[in-house]
Amino acid sequence: MPLIPTRFGAALFALFTLAVAPGLVRAAPPEAIETRIERHGEHITVSASAVMQVDARIAWEVLSDYDNLAQFIPDMKSSRVVSRSGDRVVVEQKGEIGFFFYRQPVDVTLEVLEQPQRRIVARRVAGNIRELETRYELGTSAAGVRFDYSGRFIPAFSLPPLIGMPIVRRIVERRFRAMVEEIVRRDALARGRPKN
């Protein structure tokens, strides 16, 4: 099945983490942000990446700020840490996905494994997403901090046949861009400069 470029947003719903209108990302020029989505039977796989000129510690702080994700991730109503034990975190998130007239509540509990400053891996343990596995990774290079997201999921609800995948594309893009925007915003605050 061919890869279809997207503008990012649905499995990110998983961590609700991984939306702002297209074109608002100031952290990286549009060519530095890549998104992909594929459908394999019931599974939907998504990936996105961005390169940003930010402090990697700030990027990590934003990615792992589970209790505050609903403040900047579109359509996420709540996100809270239920428990924490070392590098394992249980996170409960609620919100909705939708587009125009279609709205679907989403309620998911995730088991999160952190590798500080490098990687977050999450999987669904409860909720109305039947299967969900996501990975957020941070890396550094001469070009800046690279933020990669990948996910694979099967919703427990059906997506409308003609508009389902466009909904997923829109959600994934919006949420990924929102995450990037928040990283850039917090980095600018930490450096004492206005966001470009």
Domain ranges in the chain are 4-190
Q: pLDDT (tens digit, 9 = 90+) per residue, 109-144?
A: 999 999 999 999 999 999 988 899 999 999 998 888
* Residue 190 and residue 55 in contact, taking contact as beta carbons nearer than 8 Å: yes
pLDDT at 104: 76
pLDDT of residue 10: 33
What is the model's pLDDT at position 30? 43
Instruction: Write down the H helix ranges in the chain.
Output: 56-63, 164-191
Angular region, 72: left φ>0, alpha ψ -120 to 50, beta rest: alpha
The beta strand positions in 53-157, using DSSP E, are 76-85, 88-99, 102-115, 119-127, 129-141, 144-155
CATH topology of domain 4-190: Alpha-D-Glucose-1,6-Bisphosphate; Chain A, domain 4 (3.30.530)
pTM for this one?
0.79
Q: Output phi, psi for 55, to 5 deg.
A: -75, 125
Angle at 127 (CA atoms; ends 125, 132), nearest 5 degrees: 55
Q: What is the pLDDT of residue 26?
A: 42
Residue 114 is predicted with a pLDDT of 98
Residues of the chain below pLDDT 70: 1-32, 98-102, 156-164, 193-196
Q: What angle do CA 79, 81, 86 make, to 5 degrees?
A: 145
Amino acid at 187: D
Identify the bridge partners of residue 155 per DSSP, sorted by sequence position: 129
Phi, psi (5° rounding) for residue 120? -130, 125
